[in-house]
Structure 1
Amino acid sequence: MSKRFQLRDALAEFPPYVPGKPPVASPGLTPYKLSSNENHLPPLPGVVESAASASAIPGNYPDPTAAALVADIASHLDVEPAEVVPGAGASEVLTALTNITLEAGTSVVYPWPSFEMYPILASARGAEKRPVDLLEDGRHDFAGLAAAIDDTTRLVLLCSPNNPTGPTITDAELEGFLAEVPESVIVVLDEAYLEFATEAADSLAARAKHPNLVLARTFSKAHGLAGLRVGYGIADAEIASAMRQVIAPFSVTAGAQAAARESLARVDEVAVRAKEVAAVRDRFAHDLRELGLSVPDAQGNYVWIALDPEAAVAFEGECAKQAVAVRRLQGGVRVSIGPDEALERVLKVAASL
């Protein structure tokens, strides 16, 4: 079939990002979506009101620099405002990093399975993708990642906690790896789920020692603002300046900026809620293991169940019959932490299979 329009050949090399499925309705059952790692808790007091107030005049553009939000983030993390890059979620931050580093003839190294956007972004830039299989326990294979880097490598993507498997990166792992990476190669640490982790590397301290380390964070998960699309990167001022060049103007709306500032002002409450989610996660992971399932160390707001393809299809299908949507990916099924009733149905399916 001939093409009507001149589109990039690279589009044929990767499928579009597929979001988590919505739940299938089942008579008599409340549907639950546990397929997108959304925060199921209600918004913090004042957050919705702040977003609504800032959006009262929708005809006006938001502050393109998000100066007030940037100042709040910089103060909270004790970094310079010039090192903070806001974006429409961590996804836009990651997109900006691929746009300033990757092109045909370059390569990007990343763990796999991990966040599904990594290979999509690499293909979109025409770069060579170098996925490195995770270890059996769902952790990064740092020896393999280091071995995959060569003179063409411009970017390395790490994920802690890793999505979808769950483990975090330790201080020793991060420091040891950064010591092996050429200083000209940018290493990105995707920390979208950091607030849920009970143990993780001190990435801010590592960044102070390694200017090529960039942190990608978001208000989508622990802060519960996924629908407003606001995240940020922490990077060396030179890298941050380049990122701002390629991020679309006004991408973080006025409502999103205001909501993020209000939530950041309540960061202690965010931390308490994240710990509550983590406690439920730990109990859920324990119960799944008691049923004989293979569940790696879970540090995000989700649990990974390692399954062969046939079992994963069956698990997803049985959950759907219970009006619960889970996420089937390569190597297993990811289940987001949600209300107790939803998790009890997943345990019921696990026990039956």
Structure 2
Amino acid sequence: MTNPVPTVRPRPTVAELPRYSRAAGLSQIRWRASSNESTVPPSPLVQKAIVDAAAHANLYPSLQGDQLVEDLSERLQVTPEQIVVGGGSLALLQHTLAAYTGAGTQVVHAWRSYEAYPILIGVVGATAVPVALDADHTHDVDAMLAAVTPATRAIIVCNPNNPTGTELPRTEIERIVTSVPDNVLVLLDEAYQEFATADVDGLSLVRHHPNVVVFRTFSKAYGLAGLRAGYMIAHPDIADNVRAAAPPFGLSLLAEAGARAAWSDIAHTDHIVEVVCDGREYLRREAARRGLKTPVSGANFVWFPVGSRALEFADACVEQGVSVRAFEGEGVRVTVGDRDAEDAVLTAIDSLDWQSARLERCAPGR
């Protein structure tokens, strides 16, 4: 039986939003290297904390993740009033855009960057202003600054960048912060900060620039992608407005318990980071031996800028039992951390005739 077509219609901006992509071949693969998840399970401390918290699942969580906020405040040396926690850093970015942008405003961001940005910007009614990456697959700071207009209310900087893994050095981040007007928010998405190779710490910028906001997550280096927990750090006034724009009880009881336990288990986080760094070095080195140059990555993945052969590359990986994330006409992103999956990707590379067509290689790594 065919369901009747609804006659209600979404707002025009919603109807035109891009849809978040799915990796191909998920039903037929052995390894998932398409979602930038940790290949290392959560620590035993996290698992126990979740089980213990589940016994109280009949109760609401704290209104604003109060205990996690206290833990973060103590180690990061910022006040609790500067911290907002929620169901992943992406949700917090959405609330920030809702609080500070909207119809008639613009949000500048690099492209290609995280594919959710145009969606979040469109949902709040603002206009996305994408700025192409430079030849090294890195944010083009000059072009991004040139794109700022009187209508600009925020500029998003994903550092390290998803999906290319490239990083801006501290001097370039500071140039963005000091060049934009004071009424423009600089939103630093540091989801992969724990894996970074550059000397960037957004917290120091927050301390000196009231228009800087830092977003971080427990999904990557803490291995909690399935729990959805993240935090942002900002001037107390900005944090207060973001809380006002967010639904109450934004962090579940289990997510808060798991995040607190993961935050306390520093050794386990260090282990996850070590596994990632080893995996990305191995994959980049072995790919280079096969003639595929990749940008230096500061994240838990490697970017293959194979251009028009992206879908072909992804299909070859699926044939070897591993899913990857392909961006048609641009490249392929491969999550690292499982040596068998990395070897499957290398086998896929070996199965393709890279000499039969022009391969769009990136510049040698920095």
Give the TM-score band, short-chain normalised. Answer: over 0.9
Superposition pairs of residues 28-177 of structure 1, within 5 angstroms: 31-177=30-176
SS of residue in 1 equivalent to 2:156 = strand
State the alpha-carbon separation in 1 of the partners of residues 18 and 251 from structure 2: 26
CA contact (8 A) 2:73 2:79 kept: yes
State the alpha-carbon separation in 2 of the partners of residues 200 and 111 from structure 1: 20
Superposition pairs of residues 1-353 of structure 1, within 5 angstroms: 4-21=7-24, 23-25=26-28, 31-309=30-308, 311-330=309-328, 331-353=330-352
Tell me the residue number matched to 2:360.
none
**Equivalent residue letter for 2:53:** A
SS of residue in 2 equivalent to 1:54 = helix
* RMSD value, Cα: 1.5
SS of residue in 2 equivalent to 1:111 = strand
Scaled by the length of structure 2, the TM-score of the pair is 0.92
SS of residue in 1 equivalent to 2:198 = coil
State the alpha-carbon separation in 2 of the partners of residues 103 and 43 from structure 1: 38
Moved more, 290-299 or 129-138: 290-299
State the alpha-carbon separation in 2 of the partners of residues 197 and 333 from structure 1: 20
TM superposition shift of 1:45: 2.0
SS of residue in 2 equivalent to 1:317 = helix
TM superposition shift of 1:21: 4.5
5+ residue gaps, structure 1: none
SS of residue in 2 equivalent to 1:37 = coil
Count of residue pairs brought into register by the alignment? 347
State the alpha-carbon separation in 1 of the partners of residues 10 and 233 from structure 2: 34
State the alpha-carbon separation in 2 of the partners of residues 24 and 313 from structure 1: 17
CA contact (8 A) 1:157 1:187 kept: yes
Residues 206-256 of structure 1 deviation map (CA, whole Å, 9 limit, x = unaligned): 221111110000000000001001001001111100110121211211111
State the alpha-carbon separation in 1 of the partners of residues 96 and 266 from structure 2: 27
CA contact (8 A) 2:87 2:250 kept: yes
CA contact (8 A) 2:278 2:337 kept: no
**Equivalent residue letter for 2:14:** L
State the alpha-carbon separation in 1 of the partners of residues 50 and 160 from structure 2: 29
The change in CA–CA distance for 1:21 and 1:256 in structure 2 (over 3 A counts) is farther
5+ residue gaps, structure 2: 353-366
SS of residue in 2 equivalent to 1:227 = coil
State the alpha-carbon separation in 1 of the partners of residues 141 and 192 from structure 2: 20
TM superposition shift of 1:22: 5.7
State the alpha-carbon separation in 1 of the partners of residues 10 and 147 from structure 2: 31
State the alpha-carbon separation in 2 of the partners of residues 266 and 188 from structure 1: 28
SS of residue in 2 equivalent to 1:226 = coil
